[in-house]
Structure 1
């Protein structure tokens, strides 16, 4: 996709305003001052990118509590012409909010998205015993439902960003049961040249096994292990054509421009009938990828020079 002039780019994200996805988009410097388009789901965000109506889409891909976001992984696996160009981490903290003038003692019904509600059960049991849950479509919809009266509740579980957009009182902060919960988001664009490698990079792939036989998964993993590449994520997802057929969503430490990663991806291509390269991009934590000297670019180049010498008749 050709770069649009600054000031004319549109970024799609799971809305409405006040979501964790919006918080992730605030971390993208080039998105500042541009048009942010809230959408209803991941499929719509990616469709906006593929049809050119948005330059990029911010989507949640993994959570420390829930694991991989299957809807996002499946959408990326089944949509061609997309690239991940960056990742962003957002701490998952929750507020209990209510209309102005409310008190915690008056709360008997709480509006919440089921995932958010499940992550706050211990706090709710201690502080609002005997309450009832009112199911909301999203963390922001729970708060909106309080204000417009469409949800029969006195309070709502919401993301911190909601108070920047809606007139609410905060009854309690940090009500999540896991203080270390984090959601990983990725910025997706149409196919572009991968960002320059930084030494602290990640490569995402989707790989199918060539056949369902003993050892096939091990053979796939050996493409990485024999080249000293660590996998930070490997998750199976059903292909959908018949029972027992799976593809694997993989995050590998390193950049496609690294000799060891390029060699591994070429090995996968020889091994698998279907390899989808989702992108190489800087890690959100900026932690340098460590590897042994024998897996360095120089080591691969030296081995190639040695082989060329043999083929040319030189003394090895």
Structure 2
């Protein structure tokens, strides 16, 4: 199996792939858009991309791509994030700190308290930042321990995120729908079309009446007009479960659009 993910080597995305399938062949891409596009172009069998972080919330680009394209979620992986400060030099040498925007946000307080006056630069990935840091003692990267080993960097400080319990959820986007396992999740997108009073409450009431557990609900702009939203909803259960299937049929008749993104085993 060939899996597309964010590169270069050493990213948390690669770690997610290894947790999912440690025998797969990997193809690395510069960003989430290219990683998903590789699947659409059939360069890979599936792609694994981040969708939300426990500190910073959802990855909006991933949500938007799920809305824009006919993509199917076939699995999920949760990776514990331990951000480290990596460099060729010492703390006093650092003039630039680089990383992906997510880790920079996750380490906001740490950077502010310890590196006043240091230039902060966003990069495409944590491992790419580490690769650049390997070329200069004045550059530090916020990345993983794996990146330190891969690019020959010193770990100057570890677990530097502002909240120690830090997890990122990745989704597997593929082709084949997994069979029910008894511990599944179904992801959908709902567009109400007419924003009448109580419309969302009415939809959520359908889940409540059937004792269906919602694990996530989030709104995103439709990008058509101000105040127009779609809702991303994760529910416990599989689309083949009778209760889930019947409830979604009821909801479909009451909304402007119901898009089923997939049913898949929930991450442990």
TM-score by length of 2: 0.92
Q: CA deviation at 1:201?
A: 1.0
> Is 1:168 the counterpart of 2:157 in the alignment?
no
Distance in 2 between the 1:36 and 1:22 partners? 8
> Is 1:67 the counterpart of 2:67 in the alignment?
no
In structure 2, the partner of 1:196 is 179
In structure 2, the partner of 1:139 is 126
The answer to whether the Cα contact below 8 Å between 2:16 and 2:77 also exists between their aligned partners in 1 is yes
* 1:12-51 correspondence runs (5 A): 12-29=4-21, 32-51=22-41
Q: Deviations over 1:110-130 (max 9, x none)?
A: 23334322322333455x343
> Is 1:116 the counterpart of 2:99 in the alignment?
no
In structure 1, the partner of 2:46 is 56
Distance in 1 between the 2:200 and 2:17 partners? 36
Distance in 1 between the 2:157 and 2:109 partners? 14
The answer to whether the Cα contact below 8 Å between 2:83 and 2:161 also exists between their aligned partners in 1 is yes
Q: CA deviation at 1:108?
A: 4.4
1:230 to 191, 213, 222: 213
> Is 1:186 the counterpart of 2:176 in the alignment?
no
Q: CA deviation at 1:216?
A: 0.9
Q: CA deviation at 1:133?
A: 2.9
SS in structure 2 at match of 1:165: helix
* 1:2-17 correspondence runs (5 A): 9-17=1-9
More displaced stretch, 84-93 vs 134-143: 134-143
The answer to whether the Cα contact below 8 Å between 1:110 and 1:131 also exists between their aligned partners in 2 is no
Q: Deviations over 1:148-189 (max 9, x none)?
A: 34xx83422112321242111111111111111110001001
Distance in 2 between the 1:124 and 1:211 partners? 45
More displaced stretch, 114-123 vs 172-181: 114-123
Distance in 1 between the 2:95 and 2:197 partners? 55
> Is 1:91 the counterpart of 2:80 in the alignment?
yes
Distance in 2 between the 1:213 and 1:223 partners? 17
* 1:272-291 correspondence runs (5 A): 272-285=255-268
Distance in 2 between the 1:50 and 1:88 partners? 21
Instruction: Structure 1 unaligned segments of length 5 or more: list them.
Output: 1-8, 286-316
RMSD: 1.8
Distance in 2 between the 1:113 and 1:55 partners? 26
Bigger Rg, structure 1 or 2: 1
The answer to whether the Cα contact below 8 Å between 1:12 and 1:54 also exists between their aligned partners in 2 is yes
Q: Deviations over 1:43-78 (max 9, x none)?
A: 222222122111000011111111111110110111
How many equivalent residue pairs?
267
Instruction: Structure 2 unaligned segments of length 5 or more: list them.
Output: none
RCO greater where, 1 or 2, for CA within 8 Å and sep 6 or more? Answer: 2
